[in-house]
Amino acid sequence: MFFVPSHSGPERHVPLTVISMTTSASVPTEPEDATARPGTVTDRLVEANERYAAAFTDPGMDARPVLRVAVVACMDARLDLHDALGLELGDCHTIRNAGGVVTDDVIRSLTISQRALGTRSVVLIHHTGCGLESLTEEFRHDLEMEVGQRPAWAVEAFRDVEQDVRQSMQRVRTSPFLLHSDDVRGFVFDVKTGLLSEIDPT
């Protein structure tokens, strides 16, 4: 993604072409670069998994989520869904993408979640400072100019996060494929305070 996360200071949304032209003089001071340690990032993840598996015991869980809930959220790195919602392993289905957008593929996952794995409730979570607020559908045009091919997918950029939650709830509620659309609630997660604000669907 072309979003530059802000560890300090205001959001910076810099197109890739601009990043490559950025001079060192304009780069803000960042904490120690975690990617600068030896080995690739993926190597470190695999090592962490070895430690995880060494202490792992099969919890003997069913694949059906205990709380019968599916959470659709933005992939934003600052949003720890399990901690933020008090969820534990096995509690929920987690469906994440850029923006927490209710795409056809999210509907596919929700349909399987409800019809094959027994979930009944849907929780949608967008958040403050989302990268999609700084993009427009021009992104697709720019991609086409760069690579010679326009993506088939919509960017799903938005201007008003609350309105985007509302229209996302609407997409879930009106899907003909879902069994349960009576308990669909939408929220905005504040990345500065950790608090959720519920969005009135109307």
* DSSP-assigned beta bridge partners for residue 196: 189
> Structure tokens of 52?
């995880």
Q: Does 164 bind Zn ion (CB under 5 A)?
A: no
CA max distance for the chain: 56
Report the nearest approach of Zn ion to the CB of residue 195 (Å). 16
3-state secondary structure of 107: helix
Pick between residue 114 and residue 168 the one whose CB is nearest to Zn ion.
168
Q: In the 8-state DSSP scheme, what is residue 4? A: B
Least distance to Zn ion, CB of residue 134, Å:
10
CB of 105 to Zn ion, least distance (A): 17
| Residue 124 sits in the site that holds Zn ion (CB under 5 A) | no
Please choose, from the candidates 183, 178, 181, the residue with its C-alpha nearest in 3D space to the C-alpha of residue 115.
178
Interface of this chain with Zn ion, residues 67 to 86, rule: CB under 5 A: 74, 76
Of the candidate spans 20-28, 48-56, 109-117, 123-131, the one that interacts with Zn ion by CB under 5 A turns out to be: 123-131
Say how many residues make up the chain.
Answer: 202
Task: Catalog residues that contact Zn ion under the rule CB under 5 A.
Answer: 74, 76, 130
